[in-house]
Amino acid sequence: MQVQIGAALACSEPAEKLRRVQALRAPSARDLEEWEVVTTPRVPGRPPQLRLVAPRELPRRRALNTEAGRFALLHALAHIEFNAINLALDAAYAFAGLPQCYYADWLQVAREEALHFSMLQARLADLGGQYGDLPAHDGLWEAACATADDAMARMALVPRVLEARGLDVTPALRQRLEAAGDSRSAAILERIEADERGHVAIGSRWFAYLAARAGVDPEATFFALLDRHYRGRIVGPLAREARLQGGFSLRELELLEARSVSGGGQATHA
């Protein structure tokens, strides 16, 4: 079973990757007896035509009242969701010795991220293109590399920082698409936002489990891991209600807000 997850992670052709992800099911107890910690670097499969560049080299976003502007936004979101498939697969693939429901949770997240990507890919096709037509950056996978050998750090940094960012910015993006007359794209973002609350909650639950297993305070440890691994900024305003549903405590939100700077609704989440 671990081999099958690894094969889905390494698969670069989107349609085949989606097929492999949808075929995955929760591992059995016998599967988990043979699960191994993966210490070698993981290289996720990506479409060969996708060009990865430094964030500063990305072209400036165009206004959403143009088709090119909407395509650029949807392409950026498709890149996020494709990365999110790989991140969820890697969360299941790389870490051994966790309860069976941990692996079931992250494979379910992978299936939902695959659905998100397929919806965005179809919308890009409506606009005359596909994923890989524009350059993108690799910041999301860099977070996986930074936490490759530490499941607790992975739960802190990916679902509780990067994916939680989506809870903050997606409502404004959805409203901008509606204002631009693109209700079809806005509806996709509405579905993504609803699922992402659950993904952040899964990350919060397993972060709390791992903190308890290690005998450490979860709130203090979360901020220590944030300081150690996260080089970005916490950009506000934060979506308090959505983050509470995603498993953040009021104290965590207060501390995050104290660290935050004001900013726009950029698509930087997982």
Give a yes or no: residue 197 inside a domain: yes
Mean pLDDT for the stretch of residues 125-138: 96
Mean pLDDT for the stretch of residues 52-65: 85
Alpha-carbon separation of residue 131 from 12, 29, 119, 189 (angstroms): 12, 37, 12, 17
pLDDT of residue 56: 85
pLDDT of residue 232: 87
- φ, ψ of residue 97 in degrees (nearest 5): 80, 20
Give a yes or no: residue 51 inside a domain: no
Instruction: Give the list of residues 6+ apart from residue 202 with CB closer than 8 angstroms, or none.
Output: 105, 106, 109, 159
Mean pLDDT for the stretch of residues 5-30: 96
Give a yes or no: residue 230 inside a domain: yes
Confidence of residue 55 (pLDDT cuts 50, 70, 90): confident
pLDDT of residue 150: 95
Q: pLDDT of 162-201, one tens digit each?
A: 999 999 999 999 999 999 999 999 999 999 999 999 999 9
Write the burial class of residue 215 (CB in 10 Å: 0-12 exposed, 13-18 middle, 19+ buried).
Answer: exposed
pLDDT at 67 over 80: yes
Average pLDDT, the chain: 94
pLDDT of residue 265: 46
Counting every residue written for the chain, the total comes to 270
Confidence of residue 270 (pLDDT cuts 50, 70, 90): very low
pLDDT of residue 61: 73
Give a yes or no: residue 43 inside a domain: no
In the block, residue with structure tokens 């939902």: 112
Give a yes or no: residue 245 inside a domain: yes
Give a yes or no: residue 130 inside a domain: yes
Q: What is the CATH number of the domain that holds 74?
A: 1.20.1260.10
pLDDT of residue 151: 97
Q: What is the DSSP string of 86-112?
A: HHHHHHHHS--S--HHHHHHHHHHHHH
pLDDT at 264 over 80: no
- How many structural domains compose the chain? 1
Confidence of residue 263 (pLDDT cuts 50, 70, 90): low
Amino acid letter for position 124: L
Give a yes or no: residue 54 inside a domain: no
Q: pLDDT of 31-53, one tens digit each?
A: 999 999 998 778 899 999 999 99
pLDDT at 251 over 70: yes
Alpha helices in the chain (DSSP H): 2-10, 14-23, 29-33, 67-93, 100-126, 139-146, 151-157, 164-179, 183-214, 218-229, 240-245, 250-259
155 vs 207: CA distance, rounded Å: 5
Which domain does 76 fall in, by range? Answer: 2-34+59-262
Tell me the torsion sign for CA atoms 79, 110, 183, 244.
negative
In the block, residue with structure tokens 């991140």: 87
